[in-house]
Amino acid sequence: MPVCFAFLHASLGMVLPPQILSASGLFGTVGKPIRVDDTDSVVVAASEAESAEQHQDSDDLEMAELTSDELDGLYVEYSKHDRLWGQYPSIQERFPRLKGILLIDFIILKYAVSTNATFDFFHDGKKLLSRSPLTDRDEESTRQDYKQRILKRGLNQIARSKSITIPYQGSWHLQCRHWLAAAHTGEACYLANDEQPHNPMVVKTLQEGLKDVIDMHIDTPDDVQRHLLFTMNEDNGGSKFNGQQLINSRRRLGGQWKAHRTKPKAEITVRSCGGEAQFEALHRQWLKGTKDRHFANNWPLYSKLGSFLNNL
């Protein structure tokens, strides 16, 4: 049985897609758990996760100890053009010493075009708003729950947190946007309209449009967008980080590692490193440098999940 999925269930409580559960062997029949036998490996993986959390706590303590002058210095350094708009593998590498609300405020200050925009749902009967391709949290049950709420009471935008949107290349209208936050809610509005277009709650919701929106610059880097996606959902008590997202994150890292080790005239191979052990050591060093919140300090999870995905 692949240990990584035992770890996901035993240590993280993540819910994985049925097809993944079935393929992993963790469930004999979907929904009927079997006994986890590889408890030693699960304990090792859990220990690795605990170590990573302690490392994160250390980073948070360092952040808390920054003086106001040091923060001002970071803001100046991070406001440089290459830092804001250059290519970085992760938000942790782009702005390594900013976290929490300090990082969110800095992102909004530097990348937001508007913090109180309003967008229509339709133009000439065509939808203007859609989910960002970077949004890998897509849960039908959540969307259906929101739809029922809108059918009964409409969308109370005063009670909701802000939506975050971003324009995109190739859109058919100037008001077309991708949702970075509140995608489930927006999609539920469209579903409610499909089901009951004359419902007064739905009519009112669509007439008002999407209000008080944070609209991001079209060139906002992907790692910054992903941080907004994750943080807004986490802080708003949304559906949290799930197993499918962990898989997506592992696949992204795999692609980044491949690009890193296959650069022209600088290829990294087992032979160029002098053996498997040296190659793995370099791979581990690269992974730690990504500062990915789930894998940078958890090589066992990264390695086992990667092996599983390669065998699908």
Written as tens digits, the pLDDT of the chain (312 aa) is 343 444 444 434 444 444 343 333 333 333 333 233 333 433 343 344 444 444 444 455 455 577 888 899 999 999 999 999 999 888 988 999 898 899 999 999 999 999 999 999 999 999 999 999 887 665 788 889 999 999 999 999 888 778 999 999 999 999 999 999 888 899 999 999 999 999 999 999 999 999 999 999 999 999 999 899 888 877 665 545 566 667 777 888 888 888 888 888 788 888 888 888 899 999 998 988 887 777 888 898 888 888 888 887
pLDDT value at residue 240: 52
Q: What whole-number distance in Å separates Cα of residue 97 and Cα of residue 286?
A: 19
User: DSSP 3-state assignment of 267?
Assistant: coil
Report the Cα 84 to chain-centroid distance in Å.
19
CB neighbours of residue 229 within 10 Å: 21
pLDDT value at residue 212: 93
Spatial CB neighbours of 110, under 8 Å, sequence gap ≥ 6? 79, 84
DSSP track, 282-308: HHHHHHHHHT-TTTTT-HHHHHHHHHH
Token pair listed for 13: 């409580």
Q: What whole-number distance in Å separates Cα of residue 205 and Cα of residue 193?
A: 10
pLDDT in tens, 232-258: 877 665 545 566 667 777 888 888 888
pLDDT value at residue 173: 95
pLDDT value at residue 288: 86
Contact 26, 33 (CB under 8 A): yes
pLDDT value at residue 7: 45
DSSP β-bridge partners for residue 123? 126
Q: Which of 242, 223, 241, 221 is nearest to 233 (CA)?
A: 241
pLDDT value at residue 198: 97
Spatial CB neighbours of 46, under 8 Å, sequence gap ≥ 6? 7, 10, 11
DSSP track, 206-237: HHH-EEEEEEE-TT--HHHHHHHHHHHHHHTT
Q: What whole-number distance in Å separates Cα of residue 78 and Cα of residue 63?
A: 15
Contact 162, 119 (CB under 8 A): no
pLDDT value at residue 248: 75
pLDDT value at residue 178: 96
User: DSSP 3-state assignment of 275?
Assistant: coil
Spatial CB neighbours of 2, under 8 Å, sequence gap ≥ 6? 24, 25, 26, 304, 307, 308
pLDDT value at residue 195: 96
pLDDT value at residue 206: 96
User: DSSP 3-state assignment of 17?
Assistant: coil
CB neighbours of residue 243 within 10 Å: 19
Token pair listed for 201: 């709650």
Q: Is 58 left (phi over 0), alpha (psi -120 to 50) or beta?
A: alpha
